[in-house]
Structure 1
């Protein structure tokens, strides 16, 4: 086991150098609460103001820091520029802080109301991506002796301060569909949201070497779905609970082939289920409990391989979710606060010795919050919590 662990530690710098050449986006386990990160069309999808702060740490037992932090806000007022506006920032760190990525941007989305319980929202985003690399923390192949290891000086010429940096503008676009299902004209039993988004439309170049070869940030396609289904049971507080199944499919560096996979790249499939259980505790409206699975490919794979792996229960991570929701309302608006914790248990070849991954999210929503001097927006498709937590 110790030899395997040392092998993983030794292999990580090589894997990270590969990611420098063909960078991939970091993943979040709580993707259903990182909506602006995955699809700009979510901007302003709920009435009023909302914000989310997340902190994720990957493989905590492996030396170095492998983490991602994000913060996002969005707001919708139907009399304010006829759309929803959002802002987000993300920081990703790999290794001993030798590779850092910062990005920040703005998003906009327009809602198309079709029926009282059906709407489409189209959004776009622009962001600036800034990457830095500390060459002082890297060892190159020409420094190694087959017998004695890294004993030579490299011929690579690094900047005087030992740090390289690159920045570029990047763009994304997406669409979501939200529809509610009613059991009766006044009783909602399900709220559903599905969408698709394309990121890195311009595929900016992030090559670190001046050798004429480009290293574009590859385009990424995201397909996602998430539902809230009310289950009536007399044994629960308020006589019901919610089941929230969902899925996320990411395809980077081969979006043009969708599921076919003629080119090598990164494909990630996550799916699972949360249970939202109403609570009798005064400061907790509901408890959040969930279990999810994730499978990631870094090579050519066909859709049939996904299906076969699922049948064989071959996955990379099993994800456990625990948290709570506080929901309240007053004369002017409704407020919702969430705290969620995820533990990703590594079940791939890397093993439990990596320590798994930890992710924490804090979020708030103030529904129907209007700008001073304006009336609160009345949503064509009511926010699910407005109906389920009355």
Structure 2
């Protein structure tokens, strides 16, 4: 009986060590490989997608919240989390706004905080108000900090099963644990706003981290790579009740590439401006994502879940990330195409 209990304790300890090692290496890779966090509901966070989308919506004011929790199946108490708070508004040919984004890499101790101001300008005016071309610019700062937690060298096996011993040295040498980077982003975007059209195409491209700032907790000269984002698609009107928004998102940063493709089907409730929407997306070599949500008066609520298909699926059992988006739009009489 005693042997069985010791085996169980050892198994739990090994699992804890494995989880800690997973958190550390994946968390540290966020800045070693300098890959930004991503959202499955990318269309609901337009300011982090392309500066040219600032203020490009149907309404007077817009505020939104995005929350993503990933790898909760592996790290129940401290999943990887992304939280975004944003606000923007149109002002004739201009759009102004800003956002706060916080990325916490589980229990690894790595945390990124973005504070960004955003503006857009419509450079072409179509007399018929059908074709629109906007440019956008963002200025801000990124605060990156690391609070050392656990390292492989601090797991003591002196007494058999490994246990965390905080008195053991980490073996790591840091130059700084907290630093601030400049943020400069630019983008262009086109959209077709023809009323009652069957197709309303849109698309744009943006470049993020244009200054390529130095970022490292150590003494090397690691640079934050340029991130290029291409986003496009079309809203397709089926009839008075149904519409489809088919789109794609492609991002590249250093040696990392990501492609998401999918479509949202919207059911409009007759006699009101409310609707329900749902649809599938696929992120290449990573996950299938299902989206579900709806609008009620001036609010849009979206939910999504990632079903992991990557090499980590054997560990995660297909359970990837959960996302929630809540958007508030103060309406006015102005038409612009929207995924909703």
Q: TM-score range by the shorter chain?
A: 0.7 to 0.9
Q: CA deviation at 1:273?
A: 0.6
Taking the aligned partners of 1:16 and 1:250, their CA distance within structure 2 comes to 20
* Counterpart check, 1:288 vs 2:277: yes
Deviations 1:23-47, CA, capped at 9 Å, x for gaps: 2111001111111001000011125
The 5 Å alignment of 1:10-21 reads: 10-21=21-32
Partner residue in 1 for 2:244: 243
Partner residue in 1 for 2:256: 266
SS at match of 1:188: coil
Q: CA deviation at 1:144?
A: 8.6
Q: CA deviation at 1:52?
A: 1.2
Q: CA deviation at 1:90?
A: 0.2
The 5 Å alignment of 1:31-110 reads: 31-46=42-57, 47-63=59-75, 64-78=78-92, 83-96=94-107, 98-110=109-121
Contact 2:81 2:106 in 1 (8 A): no
Q: CA deviation at 1:50?
A: 1.1
SS at match of 2:86: strand
The 5 Å alignment of 1:257-336 reads: 265-279=255-269, 285-295=274-284, 315-327=285-297, 336=298
* Counterpart check, 1:383 vs 2:336: yes
* Counterpart check, 1:22 vs 2:26: no
Which of 123, 147, 150 in structure 2 is aligned with 1:112?
A: 123
Q: CA deviation at 1:168?
A: 1.7
Distance 1:349-1:106 versus aligned 2 partners, 3 A rule: same
Q: CA deviation at 1:11?
A: 3.3
Partner residue in 1 for 2:138: 125
Q: CA deviation at 1:364?
A: 1.8
Query: Runs of 4+ in structure 1 displaced over 4 angstroms?
Result: 2-9, 140-145, 147-152
Number of matched pairs: 317
Contact 1:277 1:288 in 2 (8 A): yes
Partner residue in 1 for 2:299: 337
* Counterpart check, 1:166 vs 2:155: no
Taking the aligned partners of 1:14 and 1:175, their CA distance within structure 2 comes to 36
Distance 1:229-1:354 versus aligned 2 partners, 3 A rule: closer
Q: CA deviation at 1:356?
A: 1.8
Partner residue in 2 for 1:196: 205
Unaligned runs of 5+ in 2: 1-11
Unaligned runs of 5+ in 1: 233-238, 254-264, 296-314, 328-335, 369-377
Partner residue in 2 for 1:374: none
Distance 1:155-1:4 versus aligned 2 partners, 3 A rule: closer
Taking the aligned partners of 2:146 and 2:38, their CA distance within structure 1 comes to 21
Contact 1:142 1:155 in 2 (8 A): no
SS at match of 2:201: strand
SS at match of 1:10: helix
Contact 2:98 2:117 in 1 (8 A): yes
* Counterpart check, 1:231 vs 2:231: no
Contact 2:23 2:107 in 1 (8 A): no
Partner residue in 2 for 1:302: none
Q: CA deviation at 1:181?
A: 5.0
Q: CA deviation at 1:179?
A: 1.1
Taking the aligned partners of 2:191 and 2:228, their CA distance within structure 1 comes to 19
Taking the aligned partners of 1:140 and 1:207, their CA distance within structure 2 comes to 21
Distance 1:93-1:286 versus aligned 2 partners, 3 A rule: same
Distance 1:153-1:244 versus aligned 2 partners, 3 A rule: same
The TM-score, its normalising length taken from structure 2, stands at 0.83
Distance 1:102-1:354 versus aligned 2 partners, 3 A rule: farther
